[in-house]
Amino acid sequence: MQGSAIVRHVVTFGRVLREVGIEVGPGRVADAIHGLDSVDLTRQEDVYFTLRQTLVSRHDELELFDRAFVAWFLRGPIAPLVRQKDRRRFADKVARDTLESGQGDDEPEEPDTPHEVGASAHELLREKDFAEMTPEEFERVRRLMAAIARTRPRRTSRRRSPDPRGDRLDLRRLCRKSLRSGGDPVEQTWKARKTVHRKLVVLCDVSGSMDAYARALLFYLHAIVGTGTGGEAFAFGTRLTRLTPDLATRDPEAALARATELAIDWGSGTRIGSSLAEFNTVYGRRALSRGAVVVIVSDGWERDDPDLIGREMAKLARAAYAVVWVNPLKGNPEYQPLAGGMRAALPFVDRFLPGHNLRSLEELGAVLAGIERRHAA
């Protein structure tokens, strides 16, 4: 009798966890029940760890779990959980609203055969500044971004696969083939290294001055993360927020709404230096930037001390394979990187590019695909 009570308890608790956003499959619930079988149920600590270790698999879910555990088993106040849910709903709502207002009635099918008129309109769209686009134009540009996102920097993997023009002997096949010739390697078999995607980390400024561009680049990021080949995205304003999980699942508009909400204290300016510092300490320490191509998207306007930016950029450049800075202002031929932050950062930047229209995103894609390390290691 006691056994089935436990089962019910755990199953319900699993449901509570799912509600707060922790993914709990039936296998995990079974593990939890099985685990509780072998520990002393009168020791609260043991019950807590058994449930935690079987039901949670990520460090960033521990806090949510703890709150749910306190609320469910210890009957503590449940308030913080509700707040978390509200935030999500809010983001979804923003997403819906923006989507509904952004789209016309039935949007016209994109003409498959552009001919002269269509082609030149297309060409104009590629050159048009993101900030000046209508929602409808933006919608069309969005589709083109997915194509650009597929070109990604690659690195040589250490794994080898059969290749007649390879640089190493494939001894396993060689041995087998040599059987027929009594141990003489008559026919030579070779293998070569394959190339795989290099890590790509993008830090995107979502402060007010970057509004239109951040939106465009976020769609681009969404397409990159969607290819499932190891892209990581962060947003920063006054703070740094990791965007990858949001971009992997939800609509980019919703991700942007959430990023803006989390990364910006309204009324205070952008803090590039401290955001970079946060990135270096929290994620750099976990070697996220090591060997990666790091792309920073920002106009370089900011309140922090330029020296801080210089120091943090130096740290970043040491760990990264290459650093690319995308500045929409650079689209203006008159632009000179005079802002203090931008000037301090430039010595550590391998490539400095504009990112104000579709053409410049194509250029970014091309640079990323062929990028080589320029700065001294």
Partner 1 sequence: MTFRTIDELEAALRGADYLPDRGLATALFLSLALEKPVLLEGEAGVGKTEAAKALATALDARLIRLQCYEGLDVSHAVYEWNYPRQLLHIRAAQEGTVSEEELFGPEFLIRRPLLEAIDSDEQVVLLIDEVDRADEEFEAFLLEILSDFQITIPELGTIRARRKPAVVLTSNRTRELHDALKRRALFHWIGHPSLEREVEIVRLRVPGIPERLAAEAAAFVRGLRGLDLAKPPGVAETIDWAQALAALGREEIDAEVVEQTLGSVLKYREDIEAVRDETLVGLIEEARATAR
Where on the chain is the footprint of partner 1 (CB under 8 A)? 23, 25, 27-28, 31, 34-35, 38-40, 45-46, 49-50, 52-54, 56-59, 62, 157-159, 171-172, 174-176, 178-179, 182-183, 185, 196, 230, 280-281, 285-288, 290
Q: Which is nearer to partner 1, 83 or 158 (CB)?
A: 158
The structure tokens listed for 1 are 């009798």
Give me the phi and psi of 160, to 5 degrees please: -120, 150
Q: Which is nearer to partner 1, 54 or 238 (CB)?
A: 54
Q: Which is nearer to partner 1, 9 or 155 (CB)?
A: 155
Alpha-carbon distance of 328 to 304, in angstroms, equals 20
Angle CA 292–294–296, to nearest 5: 170
For residue 108, give the nearest of 147, 146, 142, 137 by alpha carbon.
Answer: 137
Q: How far is the CB of 162 from partner 1 (least distance, A)?
A: 14
Q: How far is the CB of 215 from partner 1 (least distance, A)?
A: 26
E-strand stretches of 55-177 = 154-162, 168-169
Alpha-carbon distance of 72 to 93, in angstroms, equals 28
Q: How far is the CB of 66 from partner 1 (least distance, A)?
A: 11
Q: How far is the CB of 172 from partner 1 (least distance, A)?
A: 6
Q: Name the 3-class secondary structure at 13.
A: helix
For residue 348, give the nearest of 274, 294, 297 by alpha carbon.
Answer: 294
Q: How far is the CB of 78 from partner 1 (least distance, A)?
A: 23
Alpha-carbon distance of 42 to 1, in angstroms, equals 17
Q: Name the 3-class secondary structure at 353.
A: strand
Q: Which is nearer to partner 1, 144 or 200 (CB)?
A: 200
Q: Which is nearer to partner 1, 115 or 159 (CB)?
A: 159
Q: Which is nearer to partner 1, 140 or 193 (CB)?
A: 193
Q: How far is the CB of 139 from partner 1 (least distance, A)?
A: 32
Give me the phi and psi of 338, to 5 degrees please: -100, -25
